[in-house]
Amino acid sequence: MAHEGRRAAIIYNPVRTRLDRLRSQVEASEAANGFAPSLWLATVENESVDALVTRAVEEKVNVVIAAGGDGTVRGVGSAVQSTGIPFGIVPSGTANLLARNLGLPLNDRAAATEIAFGGVNRPIDVGVLDYTLENGTEGQLPYLVMAGFGIDADMVAGADPASKRRFGWAAYVWPIIWALRPRAGVPVTWRIDDEEPTTSKLHSIFLASCGIITAGIKLLPAAAMDDGRLDILAIRSVWRWLRDHDALRMPRFRVADNPESWGDFRYARASRVELTLERPRTFQADGDAIGDVVWARATIRPRATLVRVPA
């Protein structure tokens, strides 16, 4: 029996989602959890989901469910923050980054749909990237997993959309190899919290709330998505980092360590990091390319949004 007023909104990517199958899965979960028929809202390519989430909030839904890839999930999760309305995830993208970090089923969408309707709410942090592009355009982008330049951004930029639809995460294999190629670092003046600014040549930097990336790689095993802190990994030499990196014993550098003595990579935890790049580099956030950035500041909003996880 449906509970009066208990309703979900389904924000779905029509390119990524088999609508007939999703509808049958949603109807089964509605019936099992006492929900009225859902509000269905389709995303539009290259348009923000903010207006869709606003409509869902106005309709007084009890949960907003993102059915799509990382872009749909990031958009919905950041748009519902501070509304008190949780969001669920039915992953149907290539990387499914937040779903991986939450331990949600990636290949069983019926199970993921059931969790979205019948799971419990977990508060998680929201990262915020303020940035300035090479052409002077300023912007701000909330994110739920990680942002940065180098390995991850080059991988995102190099993955062909058609290959991702056909081969899934395997489409990232060549872009990963390409992203790991030796290349000169870009001089970056960066400041972590209230440290003195320092300048280093960096190959890559990760500004993360979660630690697992494409294909389940544990890039930052100690990262926690609800601790109100950014996990920062800055890499000077990618090959020496790969040689020395041990996911089970990641070196912990205090933010007060001398930046000029930290070797080929540095790991830190902070509330804020600001970057000024001598040359523009392509940035990404949760799998979405941002553009060629010359200045950026990453901050964290602690436990700012609610996500459905298994009961």
Indicate if the alpha-carbon torsion angle 204, 208, 214, 217 is positive or negative.
positive
Q: How confident is the model at residue 182 (pLDDT cuts 50, 70, 90)?
A: low
Average pLDDT over residues 199-228: 87
User: pLDDT-derived band of residue 266, with 50, 70 and 90 as boundaries?
Assistant: confident
What mean pLDDT comes out for the span 264-293? 91
What integer pLDDT is reported at residue 257 of this predicted model?
40
Percent of the chain with pLDDT over 70: 79
Mean pLDDT within 265-269: 85
Residue 263's pLDDT is 57
pLDDT (average), residues 251-274: 63
The stretch 34-51 carries a mean pLDDT of 94
Q: What single string gives the DSSP state of each residue in 241-302?
A: HHHH--TTS-----TTS-GGGSTTEEEEEESEEEEEEEEEEEEEETTEEEEEEEEEEEEEEE
The SS3 call for residue 247 is: coil
> Which structure tokens are listed for 273?
């990091």
Please check the confidence at residue 127 and state whether its pLDDT lies above 90. yes
* CA distance linking residue 230 with residue 127, whole number of Å: 8
pLDDT confidence band for 250 (50 / 70 / 90): very low
User: Which domains can be identified in the chain, with CATH numbers?
Assistant: 8-121 (3.40.50.10330), 126-305 (2.60.200.40)
Task: Give the number of other CB atoms < 10 A from CB of residue 133.
Answer: 17
pLDDT tens by residue, 285-303? 998 889 999 999 999 999 9
In sequence order, which residues have a C-beta less than 8 Å from that of residue 272 and are 6 or more positions away?
192, 193, 230, 297, 298, 299, 300
CA 169 → CA 94, 156, 173, 217, distances in Å? Answer: 5, 11, 8, 12
| pLDDT at 147 exceeding the cut of 50 | yes
CB neighbours (10 Å) of residue 122? 16
Among 69-78, 107-116, 223-232, 264-273, the minimum mean pLDDT is found in 264-273
